[in-house]
Amino acid sequence: SAMKTRVLTAFPNLPQNSFEIQLETISNNLNFEYKTPTVIRIYNQFKKQNLFGDLKSEVEVAQKIASIECQDNVIQKVEAIDKGFLTIQLNDKFIEDEINALLRNGLKFPLEKKQKVVVDFSSPNIAKEMHVGHLRSTILGESLCRILEFQGQEVVRVNHIGDWGTQFGMLINHLLEEYPDYQTNRPALKELEDLYKAAKKKFDSNEEFKVKSQQYVVKLQALDPVCIDAWKMICELSRQEYNKIYQRLNVKITEFGESYYNPILSEIVKECEAKGIVELDQGAKIIRVKGEKVPLMIVKKDGGYNYDTTDMAAAKTRILDWKCDRLLYLTDVGQWNHFKLIFEGAKLMGWHHPPATSMEHMGFGLVLGPDGKKFKTRSGDTVKLIELLDEAKERALKQIQQRVQESQQGKEFSTGTALSPEEFDLAAERMGIAAIKYYDLKQNRISDYNFDYDKMLDPKGNTAVYLMYSYVRIVSILRKSGIQDFELFKTDKQFKISHQHERHLAAQLLRFVDVLQSVTDQLAINWLCDYIYDICVKIAEAYNQYRILNDEHTQTRLLLCEAIRMVLLQSFYLVGIEPIEKI
């Protein structure tokens, strides 16, 4: 708005409401923080109406605006660059005030309107092991929840596990055949997985088994106690297994699986029929959606319910009972069509929480092996998630050991404190896990990516490892400063810009809020990753430009270090990195 004032001061005849200033951040210029293409637009829109006097091009108009002497607290300087673009330099005093506020009050997000948001993520299927696709959903989902919560939104973290459906017929059938005493002699998950494979094999080859399994499905849906019991046991075993992953990854999520909606499925179908949108198609009940070839199928030929039915029920529950303003679904892009149908179906039913509920599919690409092919172990089996985490940790340990060696040879920075074996272990666990998470989050989520430990753990790349080392360094500078009570120190001193690079870094910190806003608007967590990485690169540049300790400007530079530390720590939390403090 300070910029708009300038434009209007230069050209008072422009209609006030005819334009907004569109700002783009520039992060690779030491002097200017923003640029705007708006002048070009205004010029083309109004040149015919002779509003610009004898100025003959967008460039001249931009120059005139840049030359306006204008006092305000936000903008220091405006310059016309080529083609009519304007670049904007923030006011030093403005930057200083913002940093001082940050130091005193911590990071705050100015939320305009609080929303209730469902994040439907992770959602593995019972009796099949979680695979890398679920890992991706889990990592993206947890981070998204943290960001929304930081913004002040009310978030419901939902695990829509596949705990209902026809696969249970054969599982129960097989369980009762092979483990009749399962109540006292519980099979372990390894066996449960085998159970799935074995059951599937029988199901496909043995007609009698198949028929009996289908009967078990009907019995289960009729809540037959023996079936329910077996079903519960199977679910519990799977649950134990994926809870281990959640713990390792520090993920919080609440289970509202497919079975949760079981009691209302028949009502939902009736409701859809009453609305007049259901068609009969060879015995199945379907809902046709404009522009889509495949319809929603809410009742199968055999009268059973399916994935579409539960998702319709889940949508209604979330929108009307839970009163949610936004529903976000995280699965691979392969389910894009399924969700499009569900969203359209909900719209046809008129379900919304006033004024509107936004339903969005946050689809993502595949996780491939390091060679770009399907992700498999050497022996060709699917990869176990726990083993992935273990290997990352092991490699992180080597990485840290190497770092310690290099620092002893004076090649790399270190805090010079020897780590105890426990500290080593903890650091490796944190770094291994962070490396996996961050590598996933930094991708453009639509793309497939290769799961490559070497790239993930590269201390010089855009990786969690690089970021964590940057953090160690900042913390160590603060520690070395010898200031005892930093809280007191920072409330009682004023940050004042004393160097061009300092100004530049400080200005970058102020972008934090805008970055988070675009992350949740566009569901692009990779922008937050790029932002954090950019800050760390700039810190490294700044270290080469000025001294922090033992300098006449030490005090203000320490304050900036602390502000950077605060932004990094908060950002780390949002992308699931637990920092280490020494090495």
Under the rule (CB under 6 A), what is the footprint of ligand ARG?
A: 120, 123-125, 160, 162, 311, 314, 329, 331
Classify 338 as helix, strand or coil.
helix
Nearest approach, Cβ of 335 to ligand ARG (angstroms)?
Answer: 7
Q: How many residues does the chain have?
A: 583
Nearer to ligand ARG, 115 or 167 (CB): 167
Q: Which is nearer to ligand ARG, 238 or 331 (CB)?
A: 331
Identity of the residue numbered 155: V
Which of residues 314 and 385 has its CB atom nearest to ligand ARG in the complex? Answer: 314
Gap between the Cα atoms of 100 and 496, Å rounded: 9
Residue whose CB is less far from ligand ARG, 161 or 539: 161
List C-alpha distances in Å: 572 to 99, 362, 471, 565: 19, 22, 10, 10
* Separation CA 92–CA 161 (nearest Å): 52
Scored b (16 or more CB within 10 A) or e, 190-220 reads eebbebbebbeebbeeeeebbebbbebbebb
- CA 385 to chain CA mean position, Å: 19
Quick one: 199 or 362, whose CB is closer to ligand ARG? 362
Could you tell me the smallest distance in angstroms from the CB atom of residue 310 to ligand ARG? 8
Closer CB to ligand ARG, 150 or 196, in the complex: 196
- Calpha distance 94→509 (Å, rounded): 13
To ligand ARG, the closest distance from the beta carbon of 341 in angstroms equals 11
Name which of 258 and 429 has its Cβ closer to ligand ARG.
258
- Separation CA 129–CA 177 (nearest Å): 22
Q: What are phi and psi of 345, to 5 degrees?
A: -60, -45
Minimum distance between the CB of residue 366 and ligand ARG, rounded to whole angstroms? Answer: 13
| DSSP for 509-554, written as a single string | HTTHHHHHHHHHHHT-THHHHHHHHHHHHHHHHHHHH---SSSTTH
Question: In this complex, which beta carbon is closest to ligand ARG, that of residue 169 or of residue 257?
Answer: 257
The contacts of residue 436 (CB under 8 Å, 6+ apart) are 139, 388, 389, 392, 456
CB of 123 to ligand ARG, least distance (A): 4
Residue closer to ligand ARG by CB (options 314, 474) is 314
Shortest distance in whole angstroms from residue 329 CB to ligand ARG = 6
- Contact (CB, 8 A) for 576 and 249: yes
Strand partners, 449: 367
Amino acid at 253: I
Residue closer to ligand ARG by CB (options 313, 441) is: 313
Find out whether the peptide bond into 12 is cis, omega within 30 degrees of 0: no
* Residue pair 356/390 in contact by the 8 Å Cβ criterion: no
- Which of 77, 76, 83, 64 minimizes the C-alpha distance to 11? 64
What tokens does 94 get? Answer: 């403005």
Query: Shortest distance, CB of residue 134 to ligand ARG, whole angstroms?
Result: 6
- CB-nearer residue toward ligand ARG: 137 or 153: 137
Closer to ligand ARG by CB, 121 or 572: give it. 121
Nearer to ligand ARG, 261 or 471 (CB): 261
Q: What minimum distance in Å lies between the beta carbon of 30 and ligand ARG? A: 46
Q: Nearest distance from residue 146's CB to ligand ARG, in Å?
A: 20
Least distance from C-beta 392 to ligand ARG, angstroms? 23
From the list 535, 578, 538, the residue with the least C-alpha distance to 438 is 578
**Residue 377 CB, nearest distance to ligand ARG (Å)?**
21
Least distance to ligand ARG from the beta carbon of 525, Å? Answer: 18
Within a 10 A sphere around the Cβ of 515, how many other Cβ atoms? 17
By beta-carbon proximity to ligand ARG, the closer residue of 202 and 361 is 361
Nearest to 459 by CA among 413, 493, 418, 522: 413
CB of 124 to ligand ARG, least distance (A): 6
Q: At a CB cut-off of 8 Å and minimum separation 6, what does 375 contact?
A: 132, 367, 368, 369, 382, 383, 451
CB under 8 A, 24+ apart: contacts of 232-235 = 233/175, 233/182, 233/183, 233/186, 234/126, 234/127, 234/168, 234/171, 234/172, 234/175, 234/192, 235/126, 235/163
State the minimum distance, in angstroms, from the CB of residue 101 to ligand ARG. Answer: 41
Question: Position of tokens 């903008």?
Answer: 75
Token output for 112:
């305009």
State how far the Cα of 58 lies from the Cα of 38, in Å rounded to an integer: 10
